[in-house]
Structure 1
Amino acid sequence: MLIQFTVSNYRSFREPQTLSMVASKALRSKRKENTISPGTSEKGLPSLLRCAAVFGPNASGKSNLVKALQFTERMVMHSAGADDEEAIDVQPFRLNRETSQEDSSFEIEFIEEDVRYQFGFTANEDRITSEWLICYPRARPQQLYRRRFDEEAKRDEYDFGAQLEGGRLRKDWASQTGPKTLYISRVVQASSQEFQQLRIPAKWLARTSRPRLLGPRFSMAPPPQNLCETPEGLAKVIEFLNSFDLPIVGIEIAKKPFDVEGISKLFSKDGMEQVFRGRLPDEIREPFFYHRSDDGSEVKFKASEESSGTLNLFGFAAKWIDVVEKDWILVVDELDSSLHPLVVWELIRKLTETESKAQLIFTTHDATVLRSKLLRRDQVFFVAPDKKRASHLYSLFDFKGREDDAFEDRYLQGRYGATPKLVR
């Protein structure tokens, strides 16, 4: 479960900005179903929010919050294979001379296997300049490791906690960690399965078996093949679609060979053949949908014959089912661009009624979500740029008000900011 995420000097975020999933104690009697117990042995750890909605005008920085999460995930997943000759794809705030030359910072606090973790790093395009991982197994902080680049010595200095496993291997792993590689990423790649201490938080951070952060076009995602290839999974997908008034009675995933040779030939003249070989699938999977005709028979339809709305929900189905069943986190940019407002409302309602510890974070322009009364004030966030075009993230809970206020009207009237300033 995500507790909070802080980013600074990244894209439009100049100063540290925090997305907090910590439920406000002042609202503890309001919509308790919207919160989750952290489930750790730590006393006094507050409940967490199941869902957070982020509003803001175009070009305010909403998507940059998602990109910051994606960048953190990507560094944990892939930096072990980083090419030291290539720059780290970190993007500092460029509208200020000082910040454009300074490090970007990322820190994320989360719970995995009933233990709270705090992981972070700073980086520029040339190297990782610091990195840290702290855990709280018995409510007391235990530093597993801390890394800092020594400018004078021109090398990384490591401080390993006494509880960190690996013994002498810890230094060996450090020596194998390049300037553009996270230590946690290198250890997971280089160590054997017996070393789980860093593998557990790394798995959460990298989401190695989790659905990726989704963009607005769910229909471009691969079919939920794993679910649709078992009768139980197929029934779950169909039930999900039926719950949103889509009269699908059956789904079939057809497999056919992928023309690897044909694609390779297209790029052979440009010297790109070897780049694509080995990265292309052996087969492609195409979904077909069955509808009930007026005589009761089932009629087969190609995906191209279905509406974009049906395909969007179909592409979304597997991710949603995985999230709910496995207590994962789903982050969606511009949820409203793919789904009807009432569908979004229903997704939020479904999440609050489940016993799952899943969390949903989404950006949106759809102010009707504020009218639904499904979200508490501490679940609503805004992103707005200041006069220097730096993005600021803040909560509706920062404003005085009551839970029965007309949030949609007040937001559109500009009382909370984060609306476009139109020139007439």
Structure 2
Amino acid sequence: MLLYFTVKNWKSFKGEATLNMLAGRERSHFETLAKLPNYQLKVLPISAIYGANAAGKSNLIKAVEFLQNLILDPKKGLLNSEGLSFKLNSETREEPSEFEIQLCIKDVVYTYSISFSHEGIKSECLKKYDSKQRNQTVFIRNNLEIDGDDKVKKLVTKDSINVFLKLLRDDNYTLLSLFSTLPDIKPVYDWFQSNLKVITPTALAIGNNDFIDFDGTGFDTGVVGVKTVQFKEELPPHLKSLCRNLQEGQSMVFRDSNVGSLNITNNDGNLVATKILAVHKDENGEEVLFPFSEESDGSIRLFDLSPAFRSLNQSTDHTVFIDELDRSLHTTLSRYLVEMFLDSCDENTRKQLIFTTHDVQLIDQSLFRRDELWICQRNRDNSTTLYPINDFKELRADKDIRKSYLQGRVGGIPRLSASCAIQSNSFSIFGKGNEMPQSGN
């Protein structure tokens, strides 16, 4: 379960910003909070992040996804590219990016921190706390120097050190991935591998074969199910590359603009693909199959989100990040998905839903606590600040927070002016030869 995630000097985040999932003192929606009695903590099951376009909301989700990929798939060479630090400042441009994440896994708290630049990983540390408040440094790394507990020291011998140094230096492996089988490290690695799910609007991979249970009937989409047929064409090279880490018997679902939605399985080392089709019924009740390329954006978005929400509603320990939850969805659908999730949360569940959105209809204290609503604000220097709405003490429990947000009292909305009508003699954003529409006031 995520307790907090901190990012510094990453893309639009210049200074330190923290998404804190620990509950504050307010009493609303107390029944949905997860209780950690041994630490006397209560943890939020949900957070909704608002902000203007280009305020940095997506960069926060991308940071989580980047960290996950850095740990699970270092062979992607994520650091062998241009730096990802805040580029609009001459000092931060040359400094490393920093992430820190704190998790509670089976009543043990872990804090993992890492700093890196395009040159490689600079430092890394994993600490462990148990319910008796005992603090243990599992490992610590500064550049290529490694230290840690007895289990780590036992692995880093004179015979093995050269192999480790090569992987750390040349391939940008994290210690978390190199030592992922050690008892004190495995729970954290497994959380990134199995319990964390990140869904972005442009993500090509959209889940595993849980899709087979997709039923859009309750969402009034016209889709009553899905079916698969054999895909007889050659798989495009980029899909083969994305499937290179599939283990024997594992499946992944991909949506490609040219070939449609495919379910690809590793079968004895061979990639076997089936095409996923949407099932409709005609006036006689007979099934008619449609490629998903002919479905509405809303139906496709529901198909993308379906495996994540199924895992959230069936399990007790998944953390799901979704960028643009409301993309192509009617506000009633977005609210239904959120309500369905919250209805399944109680003090014993350890699942979480964290998402960005522009849907102001969700800003409702009958749905959210004030510490579950967050704002991304773009500053004058184009850096991002992240803060919860409950920082504004005047927003009481009986206050119309939606109205306050739309009025700009808590930030996170576009700063519009007449200058947005950028135009020259030959071009205007309102169309060639047109002028900015005039207000009726």
> Under a length normalisation based on structure 2, what TM-score does the superposition of the two structures give?
0.79
| Counterpart selection for 1:136 from 129, 142, 165 | 129
Find the aligned partners of 1:33 and 1:292 in 2 and give their Cα distance. Answer: 42
Aligned pair in 2 of structure 1 residues 183, 408: CA closer, same or farther (>3 Å)?
Answer: same
Contact 1:224 1:315 (8 Å CA) reproduced: no
Q: How does 1:95-110 map to 2 (within 5 A)?
A: 95-110=88-103
Indicate whether 1:70 and 2:60 are aligned: no
Contact 1:223 1:285 (8 Å CA) reproduced: no
Q: Which moved more, 1:122-131 or 1:15-24?
A: 122-131
| Counterpart selection for 1:342 from 322, 332, 345 | 332
| Counterpart selection for 1:410 from 404, 410, 424 | 404
Contact 2:14 2:92 (8 Å CA) reproduced: yes
Aligned twin of 2:16: 16
Report deviation, 1:243.
Answer: 3.4
Q: Any idea what the Cα deviations from partners look like across 1:352-391, whole Å, max 9, x if unmatched?
A: 1114432111111111111373111000110112221111
Q: Which moved more, 1:357-366 or 1:209-218?
A: 209-218
Contact 1:88 1:124 (8 Å CA) reproduced: no
Find the aligned partners of 1:278 and 1:248 in 2 and give their Cα distance. Answer: 32
Aligned twin of 2:257: none
Contact 1:335 1:362 (8 Å CA) reproduced: yes
Q: Any idea what the Cα deviations from partners look like across 1:130-183, whole Å, max 9, x if unmatched?
A: 11000112322111011113xxxxxx3222124xx2552134365454233211
Q: Which moved more, 1:360-369 or 1:176-185?
A: 176-185
Indicate whether 1:181 and 2:156 are aligned: no
Aligned pair in 2 of structure 1 residues 114, 258: CA closer, same or farther (>3 Å)?
Answer: farther
Find the aligned partners of 1:277 and 1:53 in 2 and give their Cα distance. Answer: 32
Find the aligned partners of 2:147 and 2:206 in 1 and give their Cα distance. Answer: 43
Q: Which moved more, 1:111-120 or 1:12-21?
A: 111-120
Aligned twin of 1:158: 146
Aligned pair in 2 of structure 1 residues 14, 249: CA closer, same or farther (>3 Å)?
Answer: closer
Aligned twin of 1:216: 201
Secondary structure in 2 matching 1:60? coil
**Which structure is higher in strand share?**
2
**Which structure is higher in helix share?**
1
Aligned twin of 1:55: 50
Find the aligned partners of 2:149 and 2:196 in 1 and give their Cα distance. Answer: 32
User: Structure 1, unaligned stretches of length 5 or more?
Assistant: 150-155, 229-233, 265-271
> Under a length normalisation based on structure 1, what TM-score does the superposition of the two structures give?
0.82
Q: Which moved more, 1:346-355 or 1:245-254?
A: 245-254
Q: Percent same amino acid at aligned positions?
A: 28
Q: Which amino acid aligns with 2:155?
A: L
Aligned pair in 2 of structure 1 residues 95, 217: CA closer, same or farther (>3 Å)?
Answer: closer
Indicate whether 1:255 and 2:230 are aligned: yes
Aligned pair in 2 of structure 1 residues 390, 217: CA closer, same or farther (>3 Å)?
Answer: closer
Q: Which amino acid aligns with 1:199?
A: K
Indicate whether 1:308 and 2:304 are aligned: no
Aligned twin of 1:196: 183
Contact 2:312 2:341 (8 Å CA) reproduced: no
| Counterpart selection for 2:320 from 310, 319, 330 | 330
Find the aligned partners of 2:287 and 2:80 in 1 and give their Cα distance. Answer: 55
Aligned twin of 2:416: 422
Secondary structure in 1 matching 2:231? strand
User: Structure 2, unaligned stretches of length 5 or more?
Assistant: 247-263, 265-270, 419-441
Find the aligned partners of 1:223 and 1:70 in 2 and give their Cα distance. Answer: 15
Report deviation, 1:43.
Answer: 3.0
CA RMSD of superposed structures (Å): 2.9
Contact 1:367 1:408 (8 Å CA) reproduced: yes
Find the aligned partners of 1:378 and 1:410 in 2 and give their Cα distance. Answer: 15
Find the aligned partners of 2:243 and 2:367 in 1 and give their Cα distance. Answer: 48
Find the aligned partners of 1:107 and 1:307 in 2 and give their Cα distance. Answer: 39
Secondary structure in 2 matching 1:95? coil
Indicate whether 1:392 and 2:385 are aligned: yes
Secondary structure in 2 matching 1:145? strand
Find the aligned partners of 1:31 and 1:313 in 2 and give their Cα distance. Answer: 27
Q: Any idea what the Cα deviations from partners look like across 1:291-324, whole Å, max 9, x if unmatched?
A: 4444444444443443222222122111221233
Secondary structure in 2 matching 1:213? strand
Find the aligned partners of 1:72 and 1:253 in 2 and give their Cα distance. Answer: 34
Q: Which moved more, 1:249-258 or 1:139-148?
A: 249-258
